[in-house]
Structure 1
Amino acid sequence: WLYEPGTRRVRQAPEFGFDQPLEGTFGAMTIDEDGLFNGSPERYNWKLIGKKEIFVPANAYKVNAANVKYDALLTPNHANPDFMRYEQRRVWAIEATLKPGFRHVYAKRVIYVDEDFWNMVVSDYYDGRGDVYKHSFINWFYAYDLKSTEIGASFYHDLTSGRYVAYQLFQQMPVGPVLNKGGLSEKNFTTAELGASGS
């Protein structure tokens, strides 16, 4: 369901998913690429490759700090490395290969899951020719006030065009995300509530 501010109506969203463009990314990301993989796994054959050690974003407090200015962080071709932090970590590699008879812009994905907190941290996306097409990563951080690991600044690099999408940036927003608000009930997830919220 979605709320359309122009008409002030709630309507059922058209079917969406898989490799349809993710709204707000100008076609640079797919719907199922959000969070490195999101949605139904049905179009892929999945295989656990195994455990390995690689350098991944970890304990990335600087890039997620409230005082980060986008003009300092978002440099041409890639984010400013002065804000990044990497560690050699144990990860589990998972390979997803497109099933015969299905179509998707990514014929194969290799996703790396951090062994310490079991979230996806890095992903490589391959085109139909078997070439690496995109490389993406998430800068997770531990939120001490919530006692949980939270998703942070994420970067999705198109290696063919040289452009990238910076996602999950909240530093210069008037109000950041509300994490673990609590006090929600089923009523909060109805179409009537969506219309009343105006968002």
Structure 2
Amino acid sequence: MKRVFLYKEGEDYSAINIYENFTHIRAFHGCRTENLNSYYTEGITPLTKEWAYNQIQKTLETKKYISEERIISTLNQLWTDTNRVWFAVTKEEMVKRSGHYLLYGSELINSVLTQFHLRNELKKNGKPTIFVCDVPLDIMDYSFLENIIDSLKTKESLDHLSFPIYGTLSSDDIVSHEHPDSSKIYDPYPY
């Protein structure tokens, strides 16, 4: 049976044993998507180089002055195959400090388009989206989970914490989604 730890700012969790009492932790994944259905059928999957290339091509299809060779070269220079998906422990982290995922999407694609001074093109596709997820504790990186537990024991806020999983979060673990108001999302690149 699924037992989900739901963090609420200001609550005292110092005496709770996460491992004994819970199977999942409520967390939030931010992105900018045009295709919500893929998340509910395939889950939240790590970025692949092929998918990133296709998204870059789609975004730059009207920018004929940037050659395919230049796109491929830039993508290859910046690519790291991490096979990870990141989550924030609070929704506030997504909106107030990690807004670039909501406004621009993938960090890799953002970096590639920045090389061509075209980052703002990413705001033209998709909608800022926060997925509310119940992440199984057994797929979380142990050191990140321990960091969360240590913060709870010392009554530190989790408002600033994020963590990765390696591989895909099952669509069964996606609870819901929402589209935050773009004007309320922190933009680290306001230019």
TM interval, shorter chain, is under 0.3
Tell me which protein shows more strand as a share of its residues: 1
* Greater relative contact order, per chain length (Cα 8 Å cut-off, separation 6+): 2
TM-score (norm 2): 0.23
Higher normalized helix content (fraction of residues): 2
Give the alignment's TM-score, normalised by structure 1: 0.22
